[in-house]
């Protein structure tokens, strides 16, 4: 009898463990099965590392990609090239992280029916990108390497995020030593994965730090003779700018003035400002994570610290993050996160719909307002309003010195103040030389294309 009782207890314990395991599995299945089925490499959803079913369109409904065994891209070669770094290639050399993030919603999955659209047509994913704007950016870059990006700083929608060089996935290049320089970094999404020396666009960060930490900064003037001694070294400008206030220093991008401003701000305040404004932090959206930037003055001497406030030294920024920083200034100190996937429709069901997500407040509204007026003045007095007809553009140019005899990278970042065109942007032309000369001709047609697309949507 005792033996039977023991066996009964053991059987009861075994059944309880089994039942507990089944309950745990069902709970995990209910909560996580959508993630399991859409894990990269899942044979139910992916082929060659990229999502394997469905249709992807741009914001205007133009089909960018029919996803099947062969992956059918747009019939327009320019569109195929301008959107490749978001759609992925057939070989899996370029990953489409944003598409993969919503693979479960794309194929149509629920815990009861499983993958109920796979094997059929799959879902339709609508991106915020405009093929028209992407193509305008591709034309404007004219074969040069870099990135052009524009997003709506009120909604978070990314209208343009071009990476070059690119190629036609229907006619991929044969890569070899003879064209290695032309296609350097071909598989890299420069908007997301690159970190660039910012050059003088970083002076916007230093200006914000000065406004926040130097109480009488608006009453001060700075004299530029073409060279400013900082310790045993010097900071130089290409020309003597004379006497400038803070707004003038930013407009004329005066290195000597900013060396003096850096002393007033101080090392500790500058480090805190960079952290507060988050310009070197990575950011994540739609399943993609950007590269981190860098601001490290731990071993910097006096002149090196000054150069760090000018956007040189070891400074680095990611284009997506810095574009968002510009959008945050335009929004008064608190912005929205960018996103690229607008919605997903499977049959009559909407399986995903994007929503605007506010970022942290990074600066007071009055400081943001002052920066807005300074950046607006830059365009009015230096870069030229005539380059952007009908748009109130606010911006800062940058020329990023690379050393080693390399031609500088050209940078341009800012935003549009028009209520009906709330757009923030960044342009990077690698080895493009001066920021204004290289970037303004790229940005101008891109912003006009954005304007036309937004007008058509009203």
Q: For the segment 181-198, what is each residue's pLDDT rounded down to a tens digit?
A: 777 889 999 999 999 999
Q: What is the pLDDT of residue 86?
A: 96
* DSSP assigned state of 294: B
Would you say 226 and 236 are in contact if contact means Cβ atoms under 8 Å apart?
Answer: yes
Q: What is the CA radius of gyration of the chain?
A: 26
User: What sign does the dihedral 359-365-369-371 (CA atoms) show?
Assistant: negative
Structure token pair of residue 25: 């599995």
Q: What is the DSSP string of 322-363?
A: HHHHHHHHHTTS--B--B-EEEEEETTEEEEE----B----S
Q: What is the pLDDT of residue 7?
A: 64
Task: List Cα–Cα distances, 430 to 148, 381, 448, in angstroms.
Answer: 11, 26, 23
pLDDT string in tens for the chain (458-residue length): 566 666 676 676 777 777 766 666 556 645 555 554 455 555 445 555 555 668 999 999 999 999 876 789 999 999 999 999 999 998 888 988 888 888 878 876 555 545 544 445 578 999 999 999 999 999 999 999 999 999 999 999 999 999 999 999 999 888 776 677 777 889 999 999 999 999 999 999 999 999 999 999 999 999 999 999 987 899 999 999 999 999 999 999 999 999 999 999 999 999 999 999 999 999 999 999 999 999 999 999 989 999 999 999 999 999 999 999 999 999 999 999 999 999 999 888 899 999 999 999 999 999 999 999 999 999 999 999 999 999 999 999 999 988 888 899 999 999 999 999 999 999 999 999 999 999 999 999 999 999 999 999 98
Q: What is the pLDDT of residue 206?
A: 98
* Rounded (10°) CA dihedral 439, 441, 447, 452: -160
- For β-strands 124-127 and 54-57, DSSP reports them as parallel
* DSSP assigned state of 264: H
């Amino acid at each position: 009898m005792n033996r039977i009782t023991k066996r009964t207890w053991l059987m009861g314990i075994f059944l309880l463990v089994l039942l507990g395991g089944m309950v745990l599995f069902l709970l995990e299945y209910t909560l996580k099965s959508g993630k399991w089925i859409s894990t990269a490499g899942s044979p139910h959803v992916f082929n060659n590392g990229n999502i394997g079913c469905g249709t992807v369109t741009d914001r205007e409904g133009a089909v960018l990609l029919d996803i099947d065994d062969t992956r059918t891209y747009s019939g327009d070669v320019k569109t195929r090239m301008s959107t490749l770094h978001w759609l992925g290639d057939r070989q899996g050399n370029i990953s489409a992280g944003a598409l993969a993030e919503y693979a479960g919603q794309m194929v149509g999955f629920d815990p009861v029916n499983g993958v109920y659209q796979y094997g059929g047509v799959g879902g339709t994913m609508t991106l915020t990108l405009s093929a028209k704007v992407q193509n305008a950016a591709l034309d404007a870059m004219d074969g040069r390497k870099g990135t052009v990006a524009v997003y709506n700083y009120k909604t978070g929608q990314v209208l343009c995020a071009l990476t070059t060089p690119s190629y036609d996935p229907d006619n991929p290049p044969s890569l070899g030593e003879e064209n290695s320089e032309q296609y350097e970094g071909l598989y890299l999404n420069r908007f997301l994965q690159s970190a660039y020396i910012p050059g003088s666009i970083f002076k916007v960060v230093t200006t914000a730090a000065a406004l926040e930490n130097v109480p009488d900064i608006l009453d001060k003037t700075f004299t530029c003779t073409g060279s400013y001694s900082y310790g045993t070294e010097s900071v130089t400008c290409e020309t003597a700018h004379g006497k400038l206030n803070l707004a003038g220093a930013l407009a004329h991008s005066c290195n000597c003035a900013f060396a003096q401003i850096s002393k007033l701000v101080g090392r500790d305040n500058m480090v805190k400002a960079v952290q507060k404004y988050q310009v070197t932090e990575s950011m994540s959206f739609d399943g993609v994570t950007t590269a981190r930037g860098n601001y490290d003055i731990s071993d910097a001497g006096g002149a090196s610290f000054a150069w760090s406030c000018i956007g040189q030294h070891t400074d680095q920024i990611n284009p997506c993050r810095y574009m968002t920083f510009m959008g945050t200034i335009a929004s008064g100190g608190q912005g929205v996160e960018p996103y690229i996937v607008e919605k997903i429709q499977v049959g009559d069901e909407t399986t995903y719909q994007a929503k605007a997500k506010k970022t942290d407040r990074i600066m007071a509204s009055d400081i943001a307002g002052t920066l807005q007026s300074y950046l607006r003045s830059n365009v009015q007095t230096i870069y030229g309003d005539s380059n952007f007809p009908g748009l109130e553009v606010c911006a800062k140019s940058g020329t990023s010195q690379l050393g080693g005899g390399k031609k500088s990278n050209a940078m341009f970042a800012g935003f549009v103040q028009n209520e009906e065109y709330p757009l923030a942007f960044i342009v990077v032309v690698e080895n493009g030389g001066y920021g204004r000369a290289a970037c303004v001709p790229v940005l101008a047609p891109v912003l006009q294309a954005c304007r036309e697309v937004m007008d058509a949507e009203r």
